[in-house]
Structure 1
Amino acid sequence: MEMREDVVFALDIGTRTVVGAVLEGTEDGLELIASEVIEHKSRSMLDGQIHNVSDVAEQVKEIKRRLEEKTNIQLKKVGIAAAGRALKTLTGHHKIEFKNKKEVDVDDVKMLEFAAVQDAQKRLAVGKDRDKASGYHFVGYTLLQSKLDGIKVGSLISQSGKVIEVDLIATFLPRIVVDSLLTVIRQADLEVDHLTLEPIAAANIIVPQQMYNFNLALVDIGAGTSDIAITRDGAIIGYDMVPVAGDEITEAICENYMVDYHTAERIKRELTSQEEVEVKDILDQTVAISTASIIKMIESKIDKLAELIAQAILKLNSRAPQAVICIGGGSLTPLLKEKLAQQLELPINRVGVKDGKEIQGVTGKIEGISGTQSITPFGIAMSCKINKSRANFIDIQLNKDPLHLFTLTEPKVSDALLAAELDIKALKATPGLALGVEVNGNLKMIPGTMGTSGKVYINGEEGNIDSQIKQGDSLEVQLGDRGKAGEGIIADVVADLPTREISINGDKVTIGAIYYKNGKQANLNSKLADGDKIEYTIVQTVGDVLQDIMDIPVTQLKKSKITYILNDEEREYRRQNYRLELNGQAATLEMEIDDGDELIFIENSKKRLKIEDVLGEDATLANLNIIFNDKPITVPAKDYKLIKNNKPAQLDDLINTGDVIEYQSGGIRLNQLLDYINYKIPTSLSGKLIIERNGKKAQLIEPLSDGDQVKIYTESFRD
């Protein structure tokens, strides 16, 4: 048995059958040498997922044995494809803002795109089981749009701007799908030469690259799954899978006509070629059934299959595509093409079935299956031929931990970082958090330091996220450090304001701006914290100096005014609390100061206004102090009245704004004084009666004043 490097062994492990094909290279592509088709003996495959590894491995071994007998070629390596069960396609977004405007380079774009892939990867942890992203292999991504400073651009490389962002679609495949396939291949004594996805394999041979500009939906309807790929704008933009396909129809036939699975499969294949089928049910009864009645019975299942496929296409594509290309054995199901067109509201001629008779680049026919079923195995073979790197499964070390890596393209550092769920953004130098404060109502930012970039080493030599890696490589990833948070003092966020030197009451004083932090006075060296509110005022006038420098409230600097009513007459009293002079001249609070000015202010007496202050000389005391015959006595005045706000008042009572004062003067005569002190003038006199007021003769009816000296005596008594 010979060994040949120019042949390709492709294996399509489907839900119902295993198809093996050996092809050799030609000038035009590939030519089929031999093929084998084996149906699973039991339901070892469900919905495209291997449920019985041993059974499937035995089938693959048998395929391998038969092909080696036919070709006399020893088969060691094989190309396979994953059906895409539970394939997840998610959108990702990322934005990078540079400190300053710069020219975008290739490294910036790679970091941006892979950070967006990781954004999509984080969304895998959803559902009841909270599956972790580590349970999935990253398959690939397709760009949706790139933006520079908020404007869409075709390519970011070499553009100049401050903000770059990208949206993309990333596709992930559950590890369990890949792992079960690998186990089957290993148990069949084979090595994986190449692994791809069935939608990719099929698209490689039925949708030429130039047709990727059309918005097409490629639907591979197998037995257990319907795999979907969407092309648009020159690329495959996404994949999806519906876990419903031909088996749904087969099982409906089983249940309705009580036949086994293989009999139901035969009936389904004959629906489009026979008018009547003859079957033996589980009771060993042979019956003839018209295919029209069978089609009518399964029509509701076909409706459901078409509905689910259409819904997946619309979800992935956001609208109906321009056309739908169907392949796989399930695409031959009666009425499916018509119902799919109806669900997508497309003309019937926009939904087609590729029969596989003419496949570009591949010649030959696989016996035992329809032409359309040959597309996937031929696509796997072509994908295996054109794939430049055959090492899709490698074991490496990442920071001394073992990592098994699967990629659909040549492995790179970025693939390892994604598989290990290391944050790619952490390789970039990350600036520390900025410090934000408010200065007189305006936001001011103090940026943090930039930090240091991370490093990637491959076998001790420095690399980057785009560096290629191979089996056995040792990777060391040192993540970047975040810079320090912004910090500063008030002087860092305010303007450089001038100072002036003036004289205040003879003392030299340097005057600058007055600063406040969160409402409390501070100086330029006060340390800032995030969210602080800084305010400052500039000392410009005499009033500013006294209030902000001398800490004297403006209300005290202004003239005080009291309005009151005295005997029905409204009066006003004004007084200046301070005497102000600027450069030797009377000053007002509004005058501006300048460098070298001399300011003098003297506080006036703080004496409060009393009633006696406003009555003046007209006021007569309520009590008179008299010296009578050399003895002091106090006598109340007659007809005196002093009332403030309808209550008796005293002369030393204070007056406030709004007070109402009533005043009536009073006095006393000499005879009233004598009555008050109960003084009796002698009726018999031994001499002449003398009455004196302040040393002068006076009459009994003469009025007295406060402080008068009164004497009454006779001349004989005097002698």
Structure 2
Amino acid sequence: MSAVFVVGGGGKMPGYTEAVAEKLGIAKERVALRGEEVMQQIVFEEDIKKDSLLVTPVGICLNFYEQSNNFIFVNFNDSRVKIYDNSRLTVADAAMQVQFPNDGLFPKRGKELNFTINGTHRMARGQIGEAAVITINGQPADIYSSIHANDIIRVIESTAGERAHLNIGDLPESSESLTVYVNDKKVEVPRFASVNGVLKSNYYEIQEGDRIEILNYYTVGQIAEFMDIMPDPRFNVYVNNKLAGKDTPVYENFSVLWTLETIPSPLQELEKARDARSLAQEVEEAPYGDLAEEEEPGQQEESLEDEKEAGDKAPAREPVEVQLFVNKSPVVLRGKPSYVYVDVFDVIDFDLSRPQGRDIVTNLNGRRAQYMEPIGNGDMIEIYWEKI
């Protein structure tokens, strides 16, 4: 230790500094009493002598003053606010200090809109409102702007935006069109929307809780109205070749036909094919004499001779078995020398008298079949009702 500085009133006692020097074993000149020289920055309003008696109390006062200065005061919306100063204070800190609502600083959305589309819940969000308007000492600012002692801060609370608005036409599903074929011409029609069971246009504004169903069909009457046509009352209307009325639904890729003709239904065509097959079988099995009964006498003798000669040359065809698959199940046809598609209905359980769909699907090896076309071993056949 080379030197000692003594502060405080006790150091002024006679012989105190000498005793300290002797105790420490240093020269007495190395122990000094501090006083006026450490208080050069202190100004007293009265005539007070600066000596070591004041060093300690003045030091205590200065320390308190410095600690008290870690807090600042600002004015927030006409309220005086005391905030601890960490040198990084912002408007957000002052807002929290006065418990200003957090959502009052940020933009608020308007009320959302809830509804359902084809049974699925949807929600449309409201518009975003305006953010809070903030000024510091009259100058524009934001929540991250720095603040200082005695700043005047004003905050106008943020606003909520408009509630959600949505029309039927704004829905992605409504932009999809429906394709139908009217008298062999392709026609695209906009999809209808049913709202709470009532048909609405694309301009309808959706309301809270609406139940919306985007329809996947038109009726025959709606198609006529859309195309702005008035069919002659004498015309028959067919949907997929089946006699229909103005309320008959028309789905994607369905065909609509207005005509004066009468078109047989698929069932009628099938029955006609079966009748033709039965007649052909009777002809094959009938004796030559039976076939010639209606011929003239001279022609009959000539025909019998020709048939007899042909019969001698062509051996009789024996019945054969054909193994194929109907709806992925094995089926065996027996008793005939050849088979056509319609013969399958004789060996499968398919009730034509009780329709269970709008049409019969008849496929052969993955394609649409003709009722009278030949079938053979290994053929893959599909027969089922097409669902509505």
Give the TM-score, by structure 1 length. Answer: 0.23
Question: So what's the TM-score if we normalise by structure 2?
Answer: 0.41
